[in-house]
Structure 1
């Protein structure tokens, strides 16, 4: 089973707009790790979620959707705190920006679950779960314990800079995680923020940062680049690229999360959920994995909100 740890929240997404008034906001169930868990469930993979949900109406709906997607909820904790909210702004290209309401909400209050269940093949972590205390320290312990047990660890930092009060401290913490990480996946914007460079004008320093992170522990670093597709820097030093799916974009909510889920699904089906196996993938295998992830993300961006595809909507990756 793949255990996904991190926040589950509600995105408030604008519907329509006019120059005279603010658009109404529609609630969509989301959160980066939550979207990954839903996507893995829809793709038919055995997956469980480690998170804390409110007992309010939003929390009930978040729990119901997990179950509907086939996600195991044995590690889901519940509490009376309200559900975390994210107010979404969409630009003219459908790209999303987020304003978070986290104070006093359920997301950060995760209790340490101890050792994860037997049969845990991989752990996927990231986004607000690795930022908001005291839960961030809990997820950090989960990350290190999983690595010590030999589990595959996937990390998507999915940076929300407005919530990171001390950027340099977070960057140091990120580097401390890398020896325990098997697969690092991040957007070019997140990579630039973590490296402290401009992604549009400082490509060489950015690429040097990717190599440095790879040298610190991960067996592969996947870089997503929006409409420009995605690439992977492999353990062998190869840089393999694929194009993005060519589809009409409604919005980009959940696209990166879908990519992470699709990569994990592909790797599991290929028996590559280990450091040794992922290090041994050749360029052709990586191209197939990235193409599958790009196709999955193409489905997500073609519809409103984080609505990842079901397995039947994609070609069999094998």
Structure 2
């Protein structure tokens, strides 16, 4: 089983029929980076559990219902009286999404450490707000480092929300501290540039420096330009994006994270050692699988990742 660690929230997405310059209705869509990864991974026929804290409000009930409908195990889900985190979404003309978060005092921030995870857990995935907002960030960090030190496969997608980071250098130092416990690092070009301190840096060399700190491989997402990976042997492998009519980009990166984990799982490569040994041809297959899954997600409003059968 793969355990996804992190927040679940509700995206408030503007109605597509709203005239430019006007305020229209906002439609609630269930989401949050880790929550989307859990849904997508389970739909790709991988046993999945979500470690999070959900509100006991109506949004929390619906989040839990969708987990069950998608086959995600909820034995590590806590419930609390605090409200659900909300994210107001703004959509660009190209479907790209920007977010305004309402997180103060919300349920996801108060998750408790369940202690060492059972033996059937083969991997964990972390990222997004859960590693940023306290007190939950310290809880998830503790779990990441503990389970990584036990030899568990750990995937990390930082999914930077720069507007919520008060001290950029402190966050960058914290990110560096996670890397020794990480088996697979996946991030966007924008995230990589922010973590590197700006767009003027040599991004490939930065990826290599992060890889030397711990990850067996580093995957870089480039939006419509496709995906790249710095392999265990230090080779850069690239694949183009898959054409799609974009409804919006909500959940695209989360789908890539889930699809990579699913491909590794289905190909008996869910260990740091196995990932280091993957060759260019295998990585091309993995990246094309992830790109195809993300193309389906962006063709649908909200984060609606595909089922395995849709990927042939």
Consecutive unaligned residues of structure 1, counting only runs of 5 or more, are: none
Measure the CA separation in 1 of the matches of 2:3 and 2:113: 14
Task: Report the counterpart of residue 161 of structure 1 in structure 2.
Answer: 162
After superposition, the Cα gap between the structure-2 partners of 1:277 and 1:92, relative to the gap in structure 1 and judged at 3 Å, is: same
Measure the CA separation in 1 of the matches of 2:193 and 2:22: 35
Task: Report the counterpart of residue 278 of structure 1 in structure 2.
Answer: 275
Measure the CA separation in 1 of the matches of 2:263 and 2:21: 47
Consecutive unaligned residues of structure 2, counting only runs of 5 or more, are: none
Q: CA deviation at 1:270?
A: 0.7
Task: Report the counterpart of residue 14 of structure 1 in structure 2.
Answer: 14
Q: CA deviation at 1:261?
A: 0.2
Task: Report the counterpart of residue 179 of structure 1 in structure 2.
Answer: 180
Q: CA deviation at 1:34?
A: 0.2
Measure the CA separation in 2 of the matches of 1:258 and 1:23: 28
Task: Report the counterpart of residue 302 of structure 1 in structure 2.
Answer: 299
- Contact persistence 1:197–1:205 (CA under 8 A): no
1:223 aligned to which of 220, 224, 242? 220
Q: C-alpha deviations, 1:166-201, integer Å up to 9, x for none?
A: 110000000000010000000000000000121xxx
Q: C-alpha deviations, 1:45-64, integer Å up to 9, x for none?
A: 00000000000000000000
Task: Report the counterpart of residue 30 of structure 2 in structure 1.
Answer: 29
Measure the CA separation in 1 of the matches of 2:23 and 2:130: 30
Q: CA deviation at 1:21?
A: 2.2
Measure the CA separation in 2 of the matches of 1:77 and 1:151: 23
Task: Report the counterpart of residue 139 of structure 1 in structure 2.
Answer: 140
Query: SS at 2:229's partner residue?
Result: strand
Measure the CA separation in 2 of the matches of 1:49 and 1:228: 31
Measure the CA separation in 1 of the matches of 2:71 and 2:272: 27
Query: SS at 2:202's partner residue?
Result: helix
Q: CA RMSD in A?
A: 0.8
Q: Across the two proteins, how many residue pairs are aligned to each other?
A: 311
